[in-house]
A = this chain, B = another copy of it.
Amino acid sequence: MASPRRSAITSVVPDLIATATLLVDTSGQGFTEFTGEAARFVAEAGAGHGTLQLFLRHTSASLVIQENADPDVQTDLVTALDRIAPTDAGWVHDVEGPDDMPAHVKAMVNGVSLQVPVIDGKLALGTWQGLYLAEHRARPHRREVVLQFIGNRR
């Protein structure tokens, strides 16, 4: 097995932090893609090289980077999360409905903060990567994502 090989280093001087908020309406448990909105934010902010920081302001939904090709993958990801946190596991916290505590567990495991590098003004996602808001509650919710670019201007 070869050792890791590294590219040359590109250096710039940071002169921009751009912040905005995105509202995403979900239709209940499942994945909502927002890669296009994130890419538009990076373009409109005038970003060059740097990082896009993403943060979800909720405790029963999460941010996920996953495959954007076959929708069956999302079905299976939902199933996998239900295996980790089933509705009928005898949770103590059940006043907000049987889907609430499993939603908190899924949000903890997936997390609510992410970052994606921005190179030459573009999100440096891999070919099969998309940005998703994963809704873990059964009913539709309005969710708020904070987008922040840190880097230099294009």
By a beta-carbon cutoff of 8 Å, the part of chain A in contact with chain B is 1-2, 4-27, 34, 37, 40-41, 44-45, 49-51, 53, 55-59, 64-67, 70, 72-73, 75-77, 79-80, 83-85, 89, 91-93, 95, 101, 104-105, 107-117, 119, 124-126, 128-129, 140, 144, 146-148, 150-152
CB distance from A98 to the nearest CB of B (A): 12
CB distance from A31 to the nearest CB of B (A): 10
List of B residues within 8 angstroms of A15 by Cβ: 13-14
Asked whether, in the complex, the Cβ of A9 is within 8 Å of the Cβ of B16, the reply is no
Asked whether, in the complex, the Cβ of A9 is within 8 Å of the Cβ of B55, the reply is no
CB distance from A37 to the nearest CB of B (A): 5
Distance of A51 Cα from B14 Cα, bound (Å): 13
Counting every copy of the chain, the complex holds 3
Asked whether, in the complex, the Cβ of B76 is within 8 Å of the Cβ of A92, the reply is yes
Return the contact of A108 from the options B7, B20, B110 (Cβ within 8 A).
B110
* A4 and B34 contact, Cβ closer than 8 Å, known pairs A10-B18, A20-B10: yes
Return the contact of A16 from the options B13, B70, B148 (Cβ within 8 A).
B13
Provide 20 A-B residue pairs closer than 8 Å at the C-beta atoms, listed in order of the A residue: A6-B22, A6-B147, A10-B20, A11-B17, A11-B19, A12-B16, A13-B16, A13-B17, A51-B150, A55-B115, A55-B116, A58-B128, A75-B93, A76-B91, A79-B91, A80-B89, A84-B109, A111-B111, A113-B114, A150-B150
